[in-house]
Amino acid sequence: MCGIVGYTGPREAGPVLLDGLRRLEYRGYDSAGIALVTQNGDLFVEKRAGKVAVLQDALGNRTPSAGIGLGHTRWATHGRPSDLNAHPHSDCTGRITVVHNGIVENFRELRSELLAGGHVLASETDTEVVAHLVEAAYEGDLADAVRSALRRLEGAYALVVMHRDEPDRLVGARLNAPLIVGLGDDESFLASDAAAIVAYTKRVIFLADGDVADLRPGTATITDRAGAPVDRPVDIIPWSAEAAEKGGYAHFMLKEIHEQPEALTAAMTGRLRHDKICLEELDPIRDRLAGIDRVEMIACGTAYYASLVGAALFQEWLGVPARSTVSSEFRYSPPPIDPHTLVVAVTQSGETADTIAAARLAGDRGALVVAVTNTVGSAITREAHASVFLQAGPEVAVAATKTFVTQVVTLVMLAADVAHQLGRLNAEAELGLVKALRRLPAQASRAIELAASTEEMAERYASANGFMYIGRAFGYPAALEGALKIKEISYLHAEGYAAGELKHGPISLLDADVPLVAVATRSAVYEKLISNLMEGRARDARVIAVATEGDTEIERLATDVCWVPDTLEPLSTILAVIPLQLFAYYVAVKRGRDVDQPRNLAKSVTVE
């Protein structure tokens, strides 16, 4: 979704905003713009369709000197990507300017009302109405005018508003879209996420829904929409600016793939105690966990595939019905939910609107909601009774990698912890699991080393017409995720299929130009998987197998083999996906794609 940054303080605002926008570009990159109140008291606005680099070229060296400004990168929802629809948007007087992430759902009605009242609206966006509503309400105090405008808005927003005549003041507001305040020495920031501002300050306030932040250099006053003061703690961002940089890799995606061993270690930190798995975050909800009789998992995209592993384990270890549903479908056919239902919402960003809506519905119906997310302070944590964090560090590439493996490992620990509490996981099984988990980071490093061959393989496969990925049991989510990676970043069609279903239709797609990628790691379903692999070979398809080191049989059967270390079946998804990530990466590179910011996608989608 869109990225927002605002600044007020002694620095040159232009470079601070452009720097922030570049770091936020993964959130959306259809257009970019900035507004500044210049030292002469003028409002300067420049905005362009395209990436931040296009805006920067347009600005050249004519960015005026200013100590305050706001900026935006857009991922289009209302109105196509164009210079006109790019943010910031201004009012009739050209004094008030606004950037917005989210959707004003009643904007058509508001727009008609504003037009009838004599306002002139230039763009097709929902955002522009906000500038005009603030204009209509303005009586010399920007925060008051914003609060008054907010009372008219329905939908979701993170907003930053600036008035030419109050040249050190920024007003921000959030409802169902992320916005944080950054506090420096004599300077203040607003941003969609910490990546935009962590180079300048680590002291942040995570705004809650309904908050309005009134910023001057170095200070922030938070109120609700009625103007009543609210107290919000100042948090310290634990990661450095360098952590959000590429660290020498060609792309963030490649860097993040290589960070997986470290991310897995971080995800397990403090959670493996001798021979036990213990998630302290669950302590406040132990009473309710004791009574659960079914588990529903909700998630989107990559997180959904990770959640399939979680659902399988809850079912196997707890012996209660457990399943996973795509969040956007969950709401339309909700399962029976009562206080004994555990709902696990899995979301990297914690801001995915579909998942938040599904979690809210579940919470409203009395479910016990647990969030599994990478983002402290994100919206999902406010919907949940308990939140378990991935601890994976920032993920910048749009295509998720390290957050997939940390979601899987976190869900394994979550299911094991709950099964332990309910007395359904025996000590021996738990000990075996702990040992396997401890080996996992080193095995992930080994899997990365072994997958070096995917670079050369990609050369031979990059001109394929499409790919068919198959897997069974814990190999199935890996196949789905592998296919998603190819689709997202190389723009090649790829199907992820349950291997047993291959013969029921999709096998007709296979030929010499549509390779079969089979997740064939050691497992109880290995023999059956091999039969499915042979079905592909018989149709002239080249076969890429992901197999366990030491498997001598598979080399005869597959065209190419990607080796991974042996582990317990529930953890095999994590190791099997690594060569598939790297294969997708190299195919995309060979095809000349924009790996970190693939077309049409956004890192976090905060609209339903």
Residues sharing a CB contact under 8 Å with residue 429, sequence separation 6 or more, in sequence order: none
Least distance to ligand G6P from the beta carbon of 53, Å? Answer: 21
Scanning the structure block, which residue is given the tokens 């109405």? 129
The catalytic position among 2, 51, 202, 485 is: 2
Judge whether 2 counts as a catalytic residue.
yes
Judge whether 562 counts as a catalytic residue.
no
Q: Taking a C-beta distance cutoff of 8 angstroms, is the pair 396, 250 a contact?
A: no
Least distance to ligand G6P from the beta carbon of 407, Å? Answer: 8
Using CA atoms, how far residue 397 sits from 78, 290, 308, in Å, is 25, 39, 23
Using CA atoms, how far residue 20 sits from 7, 8, 175, in Å, is 10, 13, 22
Closer to ligand G6P by Cβ: residue 324 or 604? 604
The CA-to-CA distance between both ends of the chain, in Å, stands at 11
Tokens of 273: 């105690």
Least distance to ligand G6P from the beta carbon of 302, Å? Answer: 4
Closer to ligand G6P by Cβ: residue 349 or 567? 349
Least distance to ligand G6P from the beta carbon of 377, Å? Answer: 14
β-bridge mates for residue 560, sequence order: 544
CA distance 536 to 552: 20
Scanning the structure block, which residue is given the tokens 């005026």? 64
Least distance to ligand G6P from the beta carbon of 490, Å? Answer: 15
Least distance to ligand G6P from the beta carbon of 455, Å? Answer: 23
Using CA atoms, how far residue 341 sits from 97, 289, 313, 338, in Å, is 46, 9, 16, 5
CA distance 190 to 184: 11
Amino acid present at 323: R
Q: What is the DSSP string of 207-230?
A: PPTT-EEEEETTEEEEE-TTS-B-
Per-residue b or e along 554-569, where b marks 16 or more CB atoms closer than 10 Å to that residue's CB:
beebbebbbbbbebbb
The CB-nearest residue to ligand G6P is: 301
* Radius of gyration for the chain, computed over Cα atoms and rounded to the nearest angstrom: 25
Least distance to ligand G6P from the beta carbon of 208, Å? Answer: 19
Closer to ligand G6P by Cβ: residue 299 or 419? 299
Using CA atoms, how far residue 158 sits from 302, 352, 375, 605, in Å, is 25, 14, 17, 13
Closer to ligand G6P by Cβ: residue 77 or 148? 77
Q: Which residues bind ligand G6P (CB under 6 A)?
A: 300-303, 347-349, 352, 355, 398, 400, 601-605
Least distance to ligand G6P from the beta carbon of 156, Å? Answer: 15
The catalytic position among 47, 485, 487, 603 is: 603
CA distance 533 to 76: 42
How many residues comprise the chain? 608
Closer to ligand G6P by Cβ: residue 130 or 602? 602
Least distance to ligand G6P from the beta carbon of 487, Å? Answer: 11
Closer to ligand G6P by Cβ: residue 40 or 600? 600
Closer to ligand G6P by Cβ: residue 47 or 360? 360
Closer to ligand G6P by Cβ: residue 392 or 529? 392
CA distance 182 to 170: 12
Phi/psi-derived region of residue 67, left when phi > 0, alpha when psi is between -120 and 50, beta in every other case: alpha
Helix (H, G, I), strand (E, B) or coil at 310: helix
Closer to ligand G6P by Cβ: residue 202 or 603? 603
Amino acid present at 176: N
CA distance 1 to 602: 6
Catalytic residue list: 2, 603
